């Protein structure tokens, strides 16, 4: 980081949960259980897709990549958060803070890009079924996944470099449980803080809105195509393949919009701490549940694998 030689701050203090001293143990147990469930849920999805040959399709390849990005995203934030809930020392080194921001933004935006790719996959499958094998070839799918990871890494690099090139020369208490952009900007000093804040905000909101609009465009074409299907059964079958993805999109962008688009008031940092829980813990927790329960093929494959392990003589 170019600004590293000019900062007076060598570490930060995370005070996100300090205002809830009597609830920290309860928060720890709750978040630990949710985190373990998130890990197990995503690992179960990945194992099922890997084991079941019928799921070796682009749709489930993207879902597997989504589970991987979700595991890395939660790993970048939640273990540190859990440790702070049990500790009286909430300090985090300058470089560790920068690393946490980089990985959280990288995997967070990778998640958004993969959701966009999954929307495009459903668009091709429903609107251009005869060209699906050509447009969604193995090489093409691999490129889409790769570019999603590259895009996420680019966003992580841009945001982290912009923030940590600032000078931090005053208080070092971050009013959050992680190295989040708004509370860090409050600690920065210099004439270019406002410009950096506006630039980072524009980049993040543009990327999120761009992905969301592309998903909306995909589903606009999908809805038009589904409505043209003559039979009710055919319309239901076509829409059912999109239900789990659409639900995750609503949850993902719903919480993201509250965090990035809500007006900033004088007490917004305290609210950001609580809202950050929904986006950091709750959304990853809900994602594997939604895909497991609302995706019929995946659910049946999970049942088949579990039954084969528990009752091998019946399979």
β-sheet bridge partners, residue 167: 189
**151 in Cβ contact with 210 (< 8 Å):** no
> C-alpha distances in angstroms, 122 versus 52, 135, 158, 270?
21, 12, 30, 39
> C-alpha distances in angstroms, 78 versus 35, 130, 131, 235, 281?
7, 44, 42, 41, 8
Tell me which long-range contacts 298-303 makes (C-beta under 8 A, separation of at least 24). 298/45, 298/48, 298/49, 298/55, 298/60, 298/63, 301/48, 301/49, 301/51, 301/52, 301/54, 301/55, 302/44, 302/48
> C-alpha distances in angstroms, 146 versus 122, 155, 202, 230?
19, 14, 24, 38
pLDDT at residue 308 in the model = 67
221-249 pLDDT, tens digit each: 999 999 888 888 888 887 888 888 888 88
**112 in Cβ contact with 73 (< 8 Å):** no
> C-alpha distances in angstroms, 66 versus 10, 89, 184, 239, 271?
35, 34, 28, 21, 28
Residue 173 main-chain phi, psi, to 5 deg: -90, 120
Looking up tokens 């931090």, which residue turns up?
168
On the 0-12 / 13-18 / 19+ scale of CB atoms within 10 A, 106 is buried
DSSP type of residue 189? B
pLDDT at residue 112 in the model = 93
204-214 pLDDT, tens digit each: 989 989 999 99
pLDDT at residue 70 in the model = 94
Q: Tokens at residue 263, please?
A: 């007006």
The H or E element containing residue 13 is strand 11-14
93-132 pLDDT, tens digit each: 999 999 999 999 999 999 999 999 999 999 999 999 899 9
Domains of the chain: 52-295 (1.20.1070.10)
In angstroms, the CA 264 to CA 268 distance is: 6
pTM above 0.75, yes or no: yes
pLDDT in tens, the chain (315 residues): 444 444 467 889 888 777 777 878 898 999 999 999 999 999 999 998 888 888 888 989 999 999 999 999 999 999 999 998 888 778 899 999 999 999 999 999 999 999 999 999 999 999 998 999 999 998 999 999 999 999 999 999 999 999 999 888 878 888 888 898 888 988 888 888 899 999 998 999 899 899 999 999 999 999 999 988 888 888 888 788 888 888 888 888 887 776 666 655 555 555 666 777 888 888 899 888 888 777 778 878 877 777 666 656 554
- Three-state DSSP at 167 gives strand
> C-alpha distances in angstroms, 13 versus 4, 44, 79?
18, 36, 16
């Amino acid at each position: 980081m170019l600004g590293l030689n000019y900062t007076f701050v060598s570490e930060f203090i995370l005070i996100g949960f300090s205002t809830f001293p009597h609830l920290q143990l309860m928060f720890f147990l709750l978040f630990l259980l949710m985190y373990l469930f998130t890990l197990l849920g995503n690992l179960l999805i990945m194992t099922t897709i890997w084991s079941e040959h019928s799921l070796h399709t682009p749709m489930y390849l993207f879902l597997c990549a989504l589970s991987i990005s979700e595991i890395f995203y939660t790993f970048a934030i939640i273990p540190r958060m859990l440790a702070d809930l049990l500790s009286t020392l909430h300090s985090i080194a300058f470089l560790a803070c920068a690393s946490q921001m980089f990985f959280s933004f990288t995997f967070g935006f990778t998640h958004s890009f993969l959701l966009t790719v999954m929307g495009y996959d459903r668009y091709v499958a429903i609107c251009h079924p005869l060209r699906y094998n050509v447009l969604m070839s193995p090489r093409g799918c691999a490129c889409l996944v790769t570019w999603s990871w590259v895009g996420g890494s680019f966003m992580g690099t841009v945001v982290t470099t912009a923030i940590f090139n600032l000078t931090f020369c005053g208080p070092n208490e971050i009013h959050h449980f992680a190295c989040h952009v708004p509370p860090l900007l409050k600690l920065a000093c210099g004439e270019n803080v406002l410009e950096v804040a506006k630039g980072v905000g524009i980049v993040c909101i543009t990327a999120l809105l761009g992905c969301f609009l592309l998903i909306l465009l995909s589903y606009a074409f999908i809805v038009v195509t589904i409505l043209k299907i003559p039979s009710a059964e055919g319309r239901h079958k076509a829409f059912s393949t999109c239900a789990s993805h659409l639900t995750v999109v609503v949850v993902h962008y719903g919480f993201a919009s509250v965090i990035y688009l809500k007006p900033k008031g004088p007490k917004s940092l305290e609210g950001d701490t609580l809202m950050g829980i929904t986006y950091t813990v709750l959304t990853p927790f809900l994602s594997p549940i939604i895909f497991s329960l609302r995706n019929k093929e995946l659910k049946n494959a999970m049942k088949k694998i579990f039954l084969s392990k528990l009752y091998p003589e019946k399979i």
